[in-house]
Structure 1
Amino acid sequence: MNEMPRTLSSVVPPMSRSDASASPARRAPTRRAIVAAAIGNGLEMYDFTLYSFFAVTIGKLFFPAGSALTSLLLSFATFGVGFLMRPLGALLIGNLADRRGRKAALTLTIALMTAGTALIALTPSYASIGVSATILVVIGRLLQGLSAGGEVGAASALLMESGGKARRCFLVSWQAATQGGAALLGALSGVAVSAWLPPDALQAWGWRLPFLVGLLIAPVGFYIRRHLEETHVSEANSAFNGVRVVLREHARTLVLGTFLMTSSTSSMYVIVFYMPTYLVRTLHMPSVTAFAATCVSGFTMLVLAPLFGRFADRLPRRKPLLIANSLLSMLIVIPNFTLLSSGPGLPLTMMCVAISGTLMSIGTGAGTAMMMEALPRHHRATGMSIMYSFGVTIFGGFAPLAVTWLISATGSRMAPAGYLLCASLISFTALLLYPSNPGRD
């Protein structure tokens, strides 16, 4: 994450001639907007990966129970609480971004995310302070969920408005790219600490080190966001009226957008976060395979999402690329999982994971741009936050649980493919009905 500014400067493409505002003087503010969005969005996904990686340890330290399984389930339940806060964050922080500006909302989200991370990283264990430890960790997850609910809408709006119309898909694609990069960094951090420290030290204090690294990065993001150029300010009568108007005037778009999120968010949580568990527990592959899968999928998204976003900017419309990507994804998911579930060995397994990551990356820039262009500028952050947060909460957050249940109920290793295929069909239907307004201010 802290290497992102150097990477961005080499990837940002030249300005289009048709974009008069994209002069060299505008490049620095645009890069700052990308970095600002990357740090906040990346910190969220980084913490997500770390929490998943150390879920067993967190369960033992903060949720002591009669069995290790119960502690683990309580740990994951606390993690899931964060998803329930996302819709609230979408309404409150998304509306703040539309009323008071993107900078104010993004400064608030990174402050909330930092506070939540600090509570998880610094709270003494249950053995030291009793039930207060459990309560503080739960509060930390609530703050993180509230922050995440408003982060994507405000950051995506800022990214899209920071550059010219000819670069929108590329700019907003950094939302997905930084999620992949943060997942990669989180996995590397977790594995490094686990390999470096003996088990006793890891459980006593070592698991906190990667979280503390995230806390060191957060002040940099806070400073950058405080000094961003504002891209939008709209005076509204009240927060309630702002949300009410968005819901009344754009109800159909919001519903379709939520269903449009089904495929992308399900793929993210199954391919990136559930895949390691699937490979080890269901396919009985070595544990190193789980680590490699997270690294491959994260790296694939980090590299390819901006490249496909750049390609999408060259197209006159967003939908044809998204339709083609959806059809390709539906055609490939069954053969891909058939090969994967046959236990082909590490190289072919990583190839299957890379294929899934590539398909996830193709439509990220075009899809996010299309979703926001369906909304006017003064409702863009609120609307995008609502669509993203409800989509992730309903379809993404529960995807690992649903897939685990399906495998148990059917006894089939192909259950994840069936789940992803159903999610793709839902999103494809929503895509055909979703309004397309490329270039809308």
Structure 2
Amino acid sequence: MNAAAVPVDAAARLGRADLRTLLLAALGGALEFYDFVVFVFFALPLSQLFFPPDSAPWLAQLKVYGIFAAGYLARPLGGIVMAHYGDKLGRKRMFTLSVFLMALPTLGIGLLPVYAQVGMLAPLLLLLLRVVQGVAVGGEVPGAWVFVAEHVPPSRVGFACASLTSGLTVGILLGSLVAAGINRSLAPEALLAYGWRLPFLVGGVFGFLAVWLRRWLSETPVFQAMHARRELVAGLPLAQVAARHRPAVLLSMLVTWMLTAAIVVLILMTPSLVQSAFHVAPARAFLGNNVASFALAVGCLFYGGLSDRIGPARALLLGAAGLLAAGYALYLGLAAGGAHFVALYAVAGFAVGVVGVVPVLMVQAFPPPVRFSGLSASYNVAYAVFGGLTPPLIGLLVARFGVLAPAHYVAATAVLGMAVAIALLRRPGGLP
């Protein structure tokens, strides 16, 4: 992989078929991520409906968050298994299967009986369906990056991967907006009676629509060429990754650490942190979060396009430096009173768009015969570890070092990203 070099066919343009592939992939990714995250926006009604009524509210909500976290823990299993068959049987089959596996449990959650109807079977069924969702998203994200990267000209891999990442971000924003709309339009009694089911039923139906739309996609030219030349791995692709591509695995896990810090801390945790630590009103906190999420979608496209122009290593270096500065600007602004909170949060959201460069580096780090397996295992394991540890770690750091601790943590991972970029720029040919 030559992550430092600018692609030689920079004049290549995306054709109509490429654009259709990117559009359908991004749309499916947005719907699938909506299905995955909408769960957390309805944690309160789920905690009231799926556990005994005499449970302490904090305990019931903690159990719901535990079920939500189970989806993250299932991601490595789903990603590794689906990537194995993606390297063996084709990218398209797994790309379609992943969105089907997300649509089915999402629709199922919307139809589940509650505790008052079936007792403890209700939370067990909820947990089972959440685990299936985790399996699905574990295969979807790396599979989608590989799929779009192998469809477009080499000089447009950055934009292709970033457009998919931007679509995933839109799914998070869509979930937030749907949750806000339902909570505004329904009384608390109606929300508990039927309103909580609506986002899951809608998500499931649109998920099956995404399955149907992906039928029109074709297998990637890269996999077709490997199949024709009989270059597919005979044994376990993951075993070959572990034996021959350890530097690529290390690279992928390090940049994924930066990705998780940026997303989990600045996008997912900051709305709650600013309320508890800086006394920002809830409505203003979530307004800032929606603006930041939109800016993130735009930022992904910007940095993806930038990586096509100057190379992903240079784009990572610039973007990581911007992430460091924007994270500190946001939290220092909050410490000074938060007068410009929404504007600074928008800037921080745009800076988080550097995550659009991460899949480009990972796609280029692994050769095609083991690309899906290498990327999926590295990304999903790193995301499960760092994504799972980040929330409690941030809580400990805030207690120990004060309200600027989230910015310090993001800055540390941004420095790590800059170090990876510098190492790639200094090493001829980048990492294998």
Return the TM-score normalized by structure 2.
0.89
> Aligned equivalents of 1:126 and 1:405: distance in 2?
34
**Are 2:26 and 2:164, in contact at CA under 8 Å, matched by a contact in 1?**
yes
> Aligned equivalents of 1:272 and 1:44: distance in 2?
18
Residue 318 of structure 2 corresponds to residue 324 of structure 1: yes
- Give SS of 1:314's match: helix
State the match for 1:187 in structure 2. 176
State the match for 1:7 in structure 2. none
For 1:344-372, what per-residue CA distance to the aligned partner results, in whole angstroms no more than 9, with x for missing partners?
23xx11112112111111x3343321221
Offset at 1:373?
0.8
Aligned pairs, number: 415
State the match for 2:6 in structure 1. none
Structure 2 counterparts to residues 27-426 of structure 1, below 5 A:
27=16, 29-64=17-52, 66-231=55-220, 232-233=223-224, 234=227, 236=232, 241-315=236-310, 317-345=311-339, 348-361=340-353, 363-407=354-398, 409-410=399-400, 412-426=402-416
Q: Percent identity?
A: 28
Offset at 1:420?
1.3
Which moves more between the two structures, 268-277 or 327-336? 327-336
Which moves more between the two structures, 416-425 or 94-103? 416-425
**Are 1:280 and 1:289, in contact at CA under 8 Å, matched by a contact in 2?**
no
Which moves more between the two structures, 70-79 or 94-103? 94-103
State the match for 2:418 in structure 1. 428
Give the AA of the match of 1:326. A
**Are 1:33 and 1:158, in contact at CA under 8 Å, matched by a contact in 2?**
no
Offset at 1:246?
1.8
> Aligned equivalents of 1:333 and 1:193: distance in 2?
31
> Aligned equivalents of 1:44 and 1:434: distance in 2?
33
- Give SS of 1:162's match: coil
Offset at 1:332?
4.0
Question: RCO higher in 1 or 2 (8 Å CA, sep ≥ 6)?
Answer: 2
Give the AA of the match of 1:359. A
Offset at 1:237?
6.1
Which moves more between the two structures, 200-209 or 366-375? 366-375
Distance 1:67 1:438, change over 3 A: farther
Offset at 1:115?
1.9
- Give SS of 1:42's match: helix
Distance 1:414 1:69, change over 3 A: same
**Are 2:173 and 2:293, in contact at CA under 8 Å, matched by a contact in 1?**
yes
Which structure 1 residue ranges, 5 or more long, are not aligned? 1-15
Give the AA of the match of 2:368. R
Offset at 1:97?
1.4
Distance 1:237 1:412, change over 3 A: closer
Offset at 1:159?
0.8
**Are 1:121 and 1:212, in contact at CA under 8 Å, matched by a contact in 2?**
yes
| RMSD between superposed Cα atoms in Å | 2.4
> Aligned equivalents of 1:276 and 1:331: distance in 2?
19
Distance 1:17 1:414, change over 3 A: closer
> Aligned equivalents of 1:342 and 1:206: distance in 2?
40
